[in-house]
Amino acid sequence: MTPTAVPSTVHDGEQDLDLTSSAIDHKLAENGQSNGTSTTNVQELDASKLTYTFTEKPGDVPPLGVDSIDGVTVCTDHMITAAWSAKSGWKTPELKPYGPISLMPTASVLHYATECFEGLKAYRGYDGKLRLFRPNCNAERLLMSATRISLPGFSSGEVEKLILALMAVDGPKWLPRDRPGSFLYLRPTVIGTQAQLGVQAPSEALLYIIATFMPVLHSPAGGMKLHTSPDDMVRAWVGGFGYAKVGANYGPSLLATKEARARGFGQILWLYGNEGYCTEAGASNFFVVWKTKEGKTEIVTAPIDDRLILNGVTRRSLLQIARERLEGEIDVVERKYTIQEVMDANAEGRLLESFAAGTAFFVCPVSLIHHRGQDIQIPMGKAGDGGPYSLKIKGWLQDIMYGNVDHPWGVVVQEEQ
């Protein structure tokens, strides 16, 4: 067999150094951003072919504030599934009653962590409309995560259409118009289902989308308290997969998180390297607001160019809106910074506020960081519910999500009547 030639524009040494990132880029170019058409007999994911089978046993909408019953997350009546095989491509997607899925004990996902997912919310606006917040970003990231762990590609636009289709059916009942300001949590997931042991890319997979209830997490009494990560544990590392939303990022972090909560802290502030770089708070992006020694006010967060952390949709949105609306007032900075810098700013009276940001925790103020026996007390504003910049940015994003303002990021769902 004649080996595939290396393109003349790529030097052998360069290819050796960026093997993983090159493979991801090539796969995305091949199958991720297509328009849904195919020149072969392998079928593309096609939301226009979605079939509907409605439940005969509809569930009850829980009271406000109830998100689980007997430890089981409350889900809506329906889910969407689409199976894939390397031989024939994507099968017809189905909207059907929510319920168990069938897997063989040798399924790839159960042994080799071939699983990725997304998290986004549907919001019942104060204007009565149902919205999603930038669902295209979640669909695109799902594709990137799937590609990173050798799961099948798809058009991200088709996944977005399927998310909208599920909300069009279940949204009217489970987010009724008499509950403005409420939300559902959506979980699109892709898993490897091939029933064969062996470390290999699965030749069968399943995409499914569910909608669930989730508690409000962004306003803990007294603010979120963080405990820095121990020296013998890291959540993600350069060259790994911290930038992809895969299940393997989360399970190994639970031990330290459980211990931190037993000590009275809400999440782990994950530090990286001997320098102690600040990366993420739990599974959320982490931010500080401080004055530089030169007197400039900055919002600072870790960068994404080294692929160490997740490029959160909330993260990119708040950075963009801060740059647009706070220009000239505050500098928005993405760079590596250490826990020692945070401690120095605190000791010198330059630390103004801190917050975590993500879909689950939204924009959540941080009131304390415990690091190696020392407590860093962080201002929480006059009302004690967060600093002025975090509250301002949080309000701007909420206005978009709940329809107080019209904005392209708020995608209106055309609900079934």
CATH class of the 224-401 domain in this structure: alpha beta
CATH numeric code, 22-212: 3.30.470.10
- As given in the structure block, the two tokens for residue 362 are 């939204």
Closest of 340, 334, 329, 325 to residue 300, by C-alpha: 334
Contacts 24+ apart (CB under 8 A), 70-74: 73/212, 73/213, 74/212, 74/213
Determine contact, residues 87/203, Cβ cutoff 8 Å: yes
Number of H-type helices and E-type strands within the chain:
9, 21
Distance of alpha carbon 141 from alpha carbon 417, whole angstroms: 31
Give 370's strand partners.
227, 375
- Which H or E run contains 376? strand 374-377
Distance of alpha carbon 236 from alpha carbon 341, whole angstroms: 21
- Backbone phi and psi for residue 351, each to the nearest 5 degrees, phi listed first: -80, 115
Can you give the pLDDT at residue 37?
A: 39
Distance of alpha carbon 27 from alpha carbon 143, whole angstroms: 10
Encoded amino acid at 73, one letter = T
In this structure, the strands spanning 78-85 and 115-117 are: unpaired
State the pTM of this model.
Answer: 0.91
Can you give the pLDDT at residue 383?
A: 86
pLDDT tens digit at each of 417 positions of the chain? 444 444 444 445 555 656 566 666 766 676 544 433 344 578 999 999 999 999 999 999 999 999 999 999 999 999 999 999 999 999 999 999 999 999 999 999 999 999 999 999 999 999 999 999 999 999 999 999 999 999 999 999 999 999 999 999 999 999 999 999 999 999 999 999 999 999 999 999 999 999 999 998 888 889 999 999 998 889 999 999 999 999 999 999 999 999 999 999 999 999 999 999 999 999 999 999 999 999 999 999 999 999 999 999 999 999 999 999 999 999 999 999 999 999 999 999 999 999 999 999 999 999 999 999 999 999 999 888 999 999 999 999 999 999 999 999 999 999 987
| DSSP code at position 358 | E
Domain ranges, ordered by start, for the chain = 22-212, 224-401
For residue 40, the tally of other CB atoms under 10 A from its CB is: 7
**Terminal C-alpha separation, the chain:** 59
Distances (CA, A) of 98 to 57, 59, 166, 192: 10, 10, 11, 20
3-state secondary structure of 29: helix
Determine contact, residues 169/43, Cβ cutoff 8 Å: no
User: Any residues with CB less than 8 A from the CB of 204 and at least 6 apart, and which?
Assistant: 83, 84, 85, 86, 108, 192, 193, 194, 195
